[in-house]
Amino acid sequence: MANEKAPITIKKYANRRLYNTGTSTYVTLEDLAVMVKKGEDFVVFDAKTGDEITRSVLTQIIFEQEAKDGQSLLPIAFLRQLIRFYGDSMQMLVPSYLEYSIGNLTSEQQKFREQIQSAIGGKALPGGQIFGALEEQARKNMAMFSQALGMFNPFVPNPSAGAAPGGLSGGPAGGPAGKPGKAEAASAAGPSTDIETLKKQLHDMQSQIESLSRKG
């Protein structure tokens, strides 16, 4: 939108100092963490090379926050599993799923805040309702993500689509009787010829996830 503010530019120098070009002052990682919490958007560039290094700086902020007593958000089991995904065939799907899940949690955070406040205020919710709600939300996330994956990934059957007799796909994905459909043809072509197609499908899948979320 035309009235949206452009991200603030932060420059990182060789001495690791960070310079906020918006306020013309040097800042720390803690200052950037406060900016994130306030919803202020920024991008970080290496002052020497001009390369964008926003991701690495945000990772450093998380590292510092995790090192503080009582501040850690990332369970050890989660970190171990995240490391296992690097180089795995699922790696390309993990960012979209995590982004989608944290987006849902953000949109529902007020409801969870109220539930926690009710429990702390002496009105304890029965049967672990708070964690039950979180678990239910996680199940919904996975269900919608899997549904979107099935719609756009030719290597994963779409659970919502029926199969015609003889193993041929029904609907628009399947071809005439005795002829393979698009999904079968794509699979037969081999993964080396489908990389670009899969990238586009993953992009479309993200749009479908957002659409499913709005309908839900």
Q: What is the mean pLDDT of residues 149-161?
A: 50
Q: What is the mean pLDDT of residues 94-115?
A: 79
How does residue 54 score in pLDDT terms, banded at 50, 70 and 90?
Answer: very high
| Residue position matching structure tokens 């586009």 | 200
The rounded distance, in Å, linking the Cα atoms of 77 and 95 is 18
Instruction: Judge whether residue 164 has pLDDT over 90.
Output: no
pLDDT number for residue 139: 67
The rounded distance, in Å, linking the Cα atoms of 92 and 95 is 7
Q: In what order do the strands lie in the sheet with 8-12?
A: 25-27, 18-20, 8-12, 42-46
The gap from C-alpha 130 to its chain's centroid, in whole angstroms, comes to 23
- Which of these ranges, 96-105, 111-120, 174-183, 202-211, has the smallest mean pLDDT? 174-183
Through-space distance between the first and last CA atoms of the chain, rounded to whole angstroms: 26
Give how far Cα 141 sits from Cα of 84, 85, 113, 116, Å: 21, 19, 20, 21
